[in-house]
Amino acid sequence: MCRPAQFGVYFCHGGFSGEDSLPPKSMGLTLADLARRITGFSTPLFGVSWNPPAAERDTVRAFLTFLEDRRVLFNPDFLEVEWQVQDSVQQIRQQCTATIAKLHDQSRAIAPLRSVRAACRRFLDEPRLDYRHFANRGPRDTDRPSFFTALGEFRAAIGIHIANLALLYQIELEPELASIVPAEDKD
């Protein structure tokens, strides 16, 4: 029995299935798969002559490892509680600032990290749309459509930057974190 996951992926007993599927749970998203999702076509990875400095790669890896434990990025909606989501987004924003401070000014990781931090500020600061014509699904505060719309926008906004960091620094992503990476464009 399969149930829908994200981006056209279905979770089946024992793993993922479908054309746009992620690898089985025991494997992360490979760099080649990640490159296809970002570029839309298959190319030899890292054909350019840039190799990330080891210390910089370790700093980016530590940031991605931090994100792997942020449920706000991949939890199903029925498990999300608004105040916990806001707290987690605040922690991601703070981690971005701390990671940027560890990198040199010319680091290629600075721009994606600043973009992730900006997405965090946007999620926390911007007023949410009022969907007056949609009834709340239940008594919880997070049963508002505007909360889930903002959460989806947040996940989509940072998914591309996570993918870029992983590609730049040749770091494979865990399946949960990879679930917010944009799907491969097959058109």
> pLDDT digit string (tens) for 168-179?
999 999 999 999
- Secondary structure of 95-132 in HEC code, one letter for each residue: HHHHHHHHCCCCCCCHHHHHHHHHHHHHHHHCCCCCCC
Mean pLDDT over the full length of the chain: 76
Q: Say what the pLDDT of residue 109 is.
A: 96
> pLDDT digit string (tens) for 23-72?
444 445 566 665 555 544 344 444 445 688 899 999 999 999 999 999 89
| Mean pLDDT, residues 142-171 | 86
pLDDT level of residue 106 (50, 70, 90 thresholds): very high
Q: Say what the pLDDT of residue 31 is.
A: 61
Tokens of 93: 């924003």
Domain extents in the chain: 29-178
How many residues in the chain? 187
C-alpha torsion 78→4→40→186, nearest 10: -140
Q: Say what the pLDDT of residue 14 is.
A: 39
pLDDT, greater one: 126 or 90: 90
Burial readout 128-149 (b: 16 or more C-beta within 10 A, e: otherwise): eeeeeeeeeeeeeebebbebbe
Of 1-5, 61-65, 102-106, the poorest mean pLDDT is in 1-5
